[in-house]
Chains A and B, each alone.
Chain A
């Protein structure tokens, strides 16, 4: 979707046009859902967060000033929502743990699945910001600058989070720095 068309749809959505907002959801759902799936580690919960993020975006669309891209704005909303929910959600954490245990039991033996679980565990141990930076930038969905805008962090911090976070994920997979070159 080109910038002009997006600006037109945003204008319509601000005036209450749900059809226009639906087209914006279609255009941006892939990067937002990918970000949250990597961040949360559970597809169902991630999609739940994504839907809530889009619904909140509808409410605060007037605050979008156009200086960053819309997907950056939506991911920022999603990240704030996830962080708040995570801090207040001991129950959700218990469900995540139960899900992880269930997945472990169901998928023993499969090498790819073992790597996936090792990565997820490593991600869960990372600090929130570092985890979010990796979720945004690993798949090259977002540039470092965009990640800095989403998370409201300095660019240098984003770069150092990527460097350290990547090393920790690779260590969890048993990959050394030389092997990863």
Chain B
């Protein structure tokens, strides 16, 4: 028996490129990218919160009391709130901002 016939019996190649195959591949690529991004975000959060959590015991181990750190903590808290406020203002509730802009245009 010829090789070509054996190959055909074992499995044939699709005659023309199949668009649905391409779409499925691209959907998998996108899903993998989303999973990877989510994993990176999760790792970043873990690292940041671990560092925040570890800062206090490490500080105490080096003899820094909460009382001595008060000005630094206050400054950190103010900066944190300022950052949150700025982020909310810039990215903010989209619909509310869009409505406000529309009203201003009128």
Contacts from A to B (Cβ < 8 Å): 18, 21-22, 25-27, 29-31, 33-34, 36-38, 40-41, 43, 46-47, 50-52, 54-55, 58-59, 112, 115-116, 119-120, 123, 135, 137-141, 166, 169-170, 173, 175, 180
CB <8 Å contact, A135 and B10: yes
**Contacting pair B21 A47 (CB below 8 A):** yes
In angstroms, Cα B6 to Cα A55, docked, is 29
The residues of A that contact B10 with a CB separation of less than 8 Å are: 37-38, 41, 116, 119-120, 123, 135, 138
Expressed in whole angstroms, the minimum distance between the Cβ of B1 and any Cβ of chain A is: 5
* Interchain CB contact under 8 A, B22 and A22: yes
Inter-chain contact B8/A139, CB cutoff 8 Å: yes
Residues of B close to A54: CB separation below 8 A: 25, 28-29
Q: How far is the CA of A20 from the CA of B15 in the complex (A)?
A: 21
Residue numbers in A under 8 Å from B21 (CB-CB): 25, 29, 33, 47, 50-51
The tally of residues in B whose CB lies under 8 Å from a CB in A reads 24
* Residues of A contacting B: mostly: helix
Cβ of B4 and Cβ of A140 under 8 Å apart?
yes
Q: How far is the CA of A115 from the CA of B26 in the complex (A)?
A: 36
Give the residues in chain A near B44, CB-CB below 8 Å: none
Q: How many A-B residue pairs have CB under 8 A?
A: 100
CB distance from A151 to the nearest CB of B (A): 17
CB distance from B41 to the nearest CB of A (A): 18
Given contacts A29-B14, A30-B17, A37-B12, contact A169 B22 (CB under 8 A): no
B9 within 8 A of A: yes
The answer to the question of B103 belonging to the interface, with a C-beta cut-off of 8 Å to chain A, is no
The answer to whether residues A51 and B25 also contact, given A33-B13, A135-B10 and a CB cut-off of 8 A, is yes
- Bound Cα distance from A40 to B9, whole angstroms: 13
A115-B9 contact in complex given A25-B21, A138-B3, C-beta closer than 8 Å? yes
Taking the closest CB of chain B, its distance from the CB of A164, in whole angstroms, is: 14
In the A-B complex, the 10 residue pairs with the closest CB atoms: A37-B11, A139-B7, A34-B13, A138-B7, A55-B28, A26-B17, A38-B10, A38-B11, A54-B25, A30-B13
- Tell me if B29 and A139 are in contact (CB < 8 A): no
A18-B29 CB under 8 A given contacts A139-B3, A140-B4, A180-B1:
yes
